[in-house]
Amino acid sequence: MLFGNKKLDVVPFKGMKNGPFKTSEYSKIQFFYILHKEDTDVAKSLNNFFEKGLYSFDGLYNFARVPYFTQPRFSIVFNDKANPLPEIEEKILERDFQSDVHYIAIYISPHSKYVRDRDCKSVYYKVKELLLKKGITSQAIEADKVRVAVQKKSRYDYSLNNIAIAILAKLDGIPWQLNTKLKNELIVGVGAFRNLDTEVQYIGSAFSFINDGRFKRFECFQKNQTDELAGSIMHQIKKYVSANSNISRLIIHFFKNMSQKELDPIEEGLNDLGLDIPVFILSINKTESHDIVAFDNDWNGLMPLSGTFINIGYNRFLLFNNTRYSNNGSFNTSDGYLFPIKLNIKCTHEELAKDYTTIKDLIDQVYQFSRMYWKSVRQQNLPVTIKYPEMVAEIFPHFEGNEIPTFGKDNLWFL
């Protein structure tokens, strides 16, 4: 991966020592806090961390090259934990937001994102939605996690490193980029999340106009809206073709086996555009402990090297995405022993699905996209083509009218 000064590294945390690949282009950035009145101590701690750092975290600017500036008395303090929305909205209206300044809110949540109480849980999403409607980027941080870390003097710097990466990405910076040759192809990722309260499955989609791991557009639908999903994909293809007439292929990363019913409207749309290009469909599934796995008997942890893939049937593969990058390099057990993912590869041009070089290239692309997760300095086992849409689909049903605010359709607000 490429970092600052075009330095290469395979480990994000080490690579970030060279700075990010690309800093935010916003010349004026202002932070402000949104917090409950009982959490002023947490805000002061975070302010100190962002300015001066903590252990391995060198401060927001030194680590992620994001200038940290706050304006006195601009932050918002609310009193009602159960329903802070009216207070927050009222005080946002009172603030003088300058058109040439890019604002980012640090929302200190008095509730855990995973709290069981449905009303408390909804507050997190409603605050995020309110800020998106106002065109404000936000970063949520749980108050109790910071407070406990300060009291116990524990390693909250690990979390700060991840928070800094996410903030840079939300400001349209690029923490790191794939060191790969750019190709004229459109990559679509489709992920899903089932809302446990309603038992309704929502599908998110992400579009990339180039194969370097950056994404340009996000949409969300209910599971049965296959025509809407196909229409959204076709709209982005038309947009791409209008600027790049030499598109070579369409690659779809799907969270399950894609049915012919789901593929038909996409093929019809390509025919209408006169595009005779191959469409590759890669079904990407998580594995569990009872699924097919493999072991490296020459390593005491048994987990195969990161990037290893194994053929388990016709165009079916196991791909190992983890942080064991070499036989001799150190492996941090805190990174976890990630299960491999299962891939199933199909193509509308059947002869290409039999070409080993093409298949290897597609698998490598899935692997590389697993390293582009900008919410953590650790590699994930799912590629962001699946993970990002899944994250959007988790939040989407909590938004009013099941609609992503316009501001949130072309940036990484959900990290």
Is the pLDDT at 254 greater than 80? The verdict is yes
Q: Which residues contact 138 (CB under 8 A, 6 or more apart)?
A: 34, 104, 105, 106, 107, 127, 128, 131, 132, 413
Is the pLDDT at 131 greater than 90? The verdict is yes
Q: Are 138 and 413 in contact (CB under 8 A)?
A: yes
For the segment 47-86, what is each residue's pLDDT rounded down to a tens digit?
Answer: 999 999 999 999 999 999 999 999 999 999 999 988 899 9
Q: Are residues 191 and 295 located together in one domain of the fold?
A: yes
pTM of the model: 0.89
- Give CA separation, 252 vs 84, 178, 214, 270, 362, in Å: 40, 19, 15, 14, 11
Q: Are residues 273 and 404 located together in one domain of the fold?
A: yes
Q: Are residues 294 and 390 located together in one domain of the fold?
A: yes
**For residue 2, is it within any domain?**
no
How far out from the chain centre does Cα 167 lie? 12
Q: What is the pLDDT of residue 336?
A: 79
Is the pLDDT at 212 greater than 80? The verdict is no
Q: Are residues 382 and 273 located together in one domain of the fold?
A: yes
Q: Are residues 383 and 239 located together in one domain of the fold?
A: yes
* 3 state SS of 18: helix
**For residue 383, is it within any domain?**
yes
Higher per-residue confidence, 277 vs 207: 277
**For residue 85, is it within any domain?**
yes
**For residue 180, is it within any domain?**
no
Q: What is the pLDDT of residue 213?
A: 62
Is the pLDDT at 159 greater than 80? The verdict is yes
- Give CA separation, 303 vs 95, 150, 306, 333, in Å: 53, 35, 9, 11
Closest alpha carbon to 239 in 257, 217, 258, 223: 217
Q: Which of 122-126, 130-134, 337-341 has the highest mean predicted lDDT (pLDDT)?
A: 130-134
**For residue 192, is it within any domain?**
yes
Domain end (from 114, 140, 170): 170
Q: Are 244 and 210 in contact (CB under 8 A)?
A: no
Q: What is the pLDDT of residue 33?
A: 97
* 3 state SS of 174: strand
In whole angstroms, give the CA distance from residue 405 to residue 134: 9
User: With pLDDT > 70 as the criterion, what percentage of the chain qualifies?
Assistant: 97
**For residue 84, is it within any domain?**
yes
- Helix locations, 154-194, DSSP H: 157-170
The domain that holds 377 is classified in CATH as 3.30.420.10
Higher per-residue confidence, 184 vs 93: 93
Bridge partners (DSSP) listed for residue 310: 318
Which stretch of DSSP H or E encloses residue 240? helix 226-243
Domain end (from 144, 170, 196): 170
Confidence of residue 87 (pLDDT cuts 50, 70, 90): very high
The region of weakest confidence among 52-61, 112-121, 126-135, 347-356 is 112-121
Is the pLDDT at 232 greater than 90? The verdict is no
Q: Are residues 251 and 329 located together in one domain of the fold?
A: yes
The mean pLDDT of the chain is 87
Strands in 255-352 per DSSP E: 279-286, 309-313, 316-319, 341-347
Q: What is the pLDDT of residue 287?
A: 73
Closest alpha carbon to 204 in 253, 163, 134: 253
The domain that holds 90 is classified in CATH as 3.40.50.2300
Q: What is the pLDDT of residue 405?
A: 85
Q: What tokens appear for 169 in the block?
A: 């990405």
Confidence of residue 289 (pLDDT cuts 50, 70, 90): low
Q: Are residues 344 and 269 located together in one domain of the fold?
A: yes
Domains identified in the chain, total number: 2
For the segment 307-345, what is each residue's pLDDT rounded down to a tens digit?
Answer: 899 999 888 999 998 888 887 767 878 777 888 899 999
**For residue 54, is it within any domain?**
yes
In this structure, is the dihedral angle defined by the CA atoms of residues 365, 367, 368 and 374, taken in order, positive or negative?
positive
Q: Are residues 203 and 349 located together in one domain of the fold?
A: yes
Is the pLDDT at 210 greater than 70? The verdict is no
Q: What is the pLDDT of residue 20?
A: 94
Is the pLDDT at 290 greater than 70? The verdict is no
Confidence of residue 219 (pLDDT cuts 50, 70, 90): confident
Q: What tokens appear for 149 in the block?
A: 């870390």
What's phi and psi for 72, nearest 5 deg? Answer: -55, 140
**For residue 415, is it within any domain?**
no
Q: Are residues 196 and 294 located together in one domain of the fold?
A: yes
At position 94, the amino acid (one-letter code) is: E
Domain hosting residue 44, numbered range: 23-170
In whole angstroms, give the CA distance from residue 3 to residue 10: 10
Q: Are residues 197 and 127 located together in one domain of the fold?
A: no
Higher per-residue confidence, 401 vs 180: 180
Confidence of residue 92 (pLDDT cuts 50, 70, 90): very high
Q: Are residues 130 and 216 located together in one domain of the fold?
A: no
Question: Residue 49: left if φ>0, alpha if ψ -120 to 50, beta else—which one?
Answer: alpha
Is the pLDDT at 214 greater than 90? The verdict is no
Dump the DSSP string for 27-83: S-EEEEEEEEGGGHHHHHHHHHHHHH-BTTB--HHHHH-----B-TT-SEEES-SS-
Which stretch of DSSP H or E encloses residue 152? helix 143-152
Domain end (from 143, 170, 197): 170
Q: Are residues 32 and 73 located together in one domain of the fold?
A: yes
The region of weakest confidence among 167-181, 290-304, 363-377 is 290-304
